[in-house]
Every structure is written in C-alpha cells, then in structure tokens.
Structure 1
C-alpha cells in the first residue's frame, strides 16, 4: 500500500510539472483563476502552436476585467492572423462597443463605424452567429437615428435571430419592445420564449419586464413561484431584489 501511494504521488507530481504553460493557463482559465491563468498564458511563445489560443484566452480575461484596450490588443493579434474568422471579428467589435460605452457620447461617436464594421463582418462570415446579431441589435437600439439607429433596424436583427433560433428570436423581440416600452408586445414574445425554453434566462427576462412595467404584485409573485418550481437552485429572491 505504501509503495502504491508513493507511485500515485509521483504520477501527480509528474503530471503537474509536465504540463506546459499553455495547459496550466487553460486549466486556471477554466477555473476562473484569472491572475494565475494570465501568468501562465503570457509565457506561451509566438512559435508555439497554442500561441493564438493563448492570445484569445488573454483577450477574454481582459474583457472580463473590463480592460478594453488590453482585450483589443489581443483580439487585434488574432484578427491580423485570421481576418476572416467570424468569432475574432465579433470579439473585437464587441470590445470596441463596450469601450465606447464608457466614453462620452462625443468620443464614442468615433468608434461607431468600426464597431458596425466588425460586428457586421462577423455576422456575414457566419450566418448562424447569434452573438454578433445580438450585439448588432443592442447597438442599433442604442444608436440615435442620425447615426443609423432605430427600432426597425433592431427588429431586422431580431428576425435574423429567429431564423437561427426561435427562442432567441422571441427573446430579441421581447427585448426590443421592452426597450421602447411597448410592454404588451414585449410580454407576448417573452411568454412565447418561456413556453419554448423554460430556461432561467427566459424567466429572468419576463420577471424583469414585469418589474419594469409595474405589473401587479400578484402577477409577479405567480411567475416567481413558477420560476422557483422550475429552477429551485436559482436564487430568485436575490434576482427580484436586484432588478427592483
């Protein structure tokens, strides 16, 4: 037994020290240990076959930390290597958009053209890319008409989402109508999404609508109890309090 334990200990140590910086960084990334992941991934050399995947992880970590310039640096390296990669265009455009949200309206205006370019390119390169279409829908909802924004354009992307995923389509319609305070239409589509998906997200979106639109406490509570029965492990009361 003593020999067996020693052998197992040796195997564990060998596995740990035998891992490359990329493998260690990837493991830390999956465990959301961002600092440890960064320390390892930064050690991956450009000659490594895993270099660009390491750059993507580093970009994602920077985006998670809302360090947009760092995220754009790493996503830019990926785009330079593979300009026709839909996901790289999406991540670069998304990071640009989120950076723009933190700037003044005057400063953000200079980013609009590039944000549109990369997100539209992502959508064109991948006809089933949900993320790019959701990002475009959000962008055109927020943009003033003078910069090309508006409900009609946003609904156009909702149509594209529905063609790819019926649930996403209904959620998208619900989101657009909620933003323009057409609560009756928003409820109609979010209820359809809930019937199809019965997911945590579907319940959250409908509950948030009910709170924003000041639906009766009875109606909100009835949906809340339904959500608790469907997903008992979710902290629904905390969600309700947060969305108040």
Structure 2
C-alpha cells in the first residue's frame, strides 16, 4: 500500500498544480484559457464538483447554454442537496428557452420554475433564486402563468431577508410595469439603506433609458465611480 501511495504522489501533485493553474486563470477572467485544462482534469476525475461547476460557468459566460445546462444538471444529480446547483441549472435552462422554438420553450417552463423553487427549499434565504422567480413571473405571459402578484410575493420575501434587495426588486417590478416614478422611489429607498453599487446602477438606468433624464443618470454614474474608487482605497 505504501508503495502504491508513493507512486501516486507525483501524479497527485501534478493534478493539483494543473487545477491551481486553471483556477487562477478562471478567477482572472481568462475562461477560455482555463477551459481545456479543466476538461482534461475532468476526464481524470469525472465527479469533481468544482471542476464541473467551473466548466458550467465558463459555458454560461460564453452563452453556450446547452453545454451549461448539461454541466449544471450533472452537478445537481451528483449533489442534490446544494441549492446553488438548482439555481444555476434553472438559470441556464431559462436562457436556453429564449433561444429555442416556442413549442420546446413551453415544455421547459415548469422545470425552470421548479429549479428555482427547489433552490429556495434547500436554502430558505437564497436571494438570487427569488430574484430569478420575480423575473420569471413578470416576463412569462399571463396566459401561461405570468403574474405580477406572484412576483410581488417573492419581492416581499426578499424584503424579510435583505431590505436592500426587497426595495430594489420592488423597484424592478414597478419599472417593468412602467410605473417609473414609483420605481424611482423604491430604488432611492434601497440606496438610503445600503448604498450598493447595484442600486445606484438600477436608478441610473431608469433615469437614462426610461425617464429621459440623462443629467440625473450621469450624476448617479459618477456616484458609482466614487464608490468604486473609495472601495479600492480601503483594500
């Protein structure tokens, strides 16, 4: 047994070195350079969750949704207790549904919703899955299940978990249904509580693209730059 371990040790070191190299490239945003290394590593270790997730994320980043769905499906099959795997699977499936014909897309609707719901069941505080369901119920035609009331329900749940996300999501709903002044109020509430860059970005986008107030949008974008600059100085 000791002899076997001795023979395996250089191989294990090499595999770890390759993984570290690929992970560094991935973390630096060099996804296409990291992809062939992860693919080679996956052949040697087909059940490695991190490698599979990275490959799924790389596929999603390049909008290769069929490939992303396959990787995320493998993840949730290997570890059905992980909420994020269902969330990513539902998201990739939703993006794929936008690219296929309507008949096929209709057959994917329930699976998309159920994936996000499963993520929430596994992680009751899962914020991103609730955001996804808000978009799902807003953008789905009413005749096949779309519902502003259900979108608001998930926004209310977000409010209990994260007030910033709660106000931002309510603003997003108001904006989607063209209640722009109400959306502005909600985004400002989110900013007052958390001053997150995302809440500023959503308000700037509202001013620029929906309310035709470019000066206000520019002021908000400058605020985002100031926040980013301050954040870097504090690192």
Matches of 1:103 and 1:109 in 2, distance apart? 10
TM-score, normalised by the number of residues in structure 2: 0.84
Aligned pairs for 1:122-133 (under 5 A) are 122-133=119-130
Matched, 1:191 2:164: no
Cα distance, 1:113 vs structure 2 = 0.9
Q: Which has the larger radius of gyration?
A: 1
1:83 aligns with 2:80: yes
Aligned-pair CA distance for 1:19: 4.5
* TM-score in terms of structure 1 length: 0.81
Residues matched between the structures, number? 219
Name which of structure 1's ranges 206-215 and 190-199 shifts more when overlaid on structure 2. Answer: 206-215
| 1:167 alignment partner, SS class | helix
SS where residue 22 of structure 2 aligns?
helix
Compute the displacement of 1:153 (Å).
0.7
What residue ranges of structure 2 are gaps of 5+ in the alignment? 1-12
CA RMSD of aligned residues (A): 2.4
1:111 equivalent to 2:123? Answer: no
Report whether the alignment pairs 1:143 with 2:113. Answer: no
Q: Is the 8 A contact 2:203 2:217 kept in 1?
A: no
Q: CA deviation at 1:64?
A: 0.5
Which portions of structure 1, spanning 4 or more consecutive aligned residues, are displaced by more than 6 angstroms? none
What is the CA-CA distance between 1:216 and the residue it aligns to?
4.3
Could you say if the C-alpha distance between residues 162 and 41 of structure 1 is closer, same or farther in structure 2, counting changes exceeding 3 Å? same
1:1-244 maps to which residues of 2 (within 5 A)? 19-45=16-42, 48=45, 51-217=48-214, 219-224=216-221, 226-231=223-228
- Deviation, 1:17, is 6.5
Q: 1:100 to 1:167 in 2, by over 3 A?
A: same
Shift of 1:74: 1.1
Contact 1:78 1:88 in 2 (8 A): yes
Gaps of 5+ in 1: 1-15, 235-244
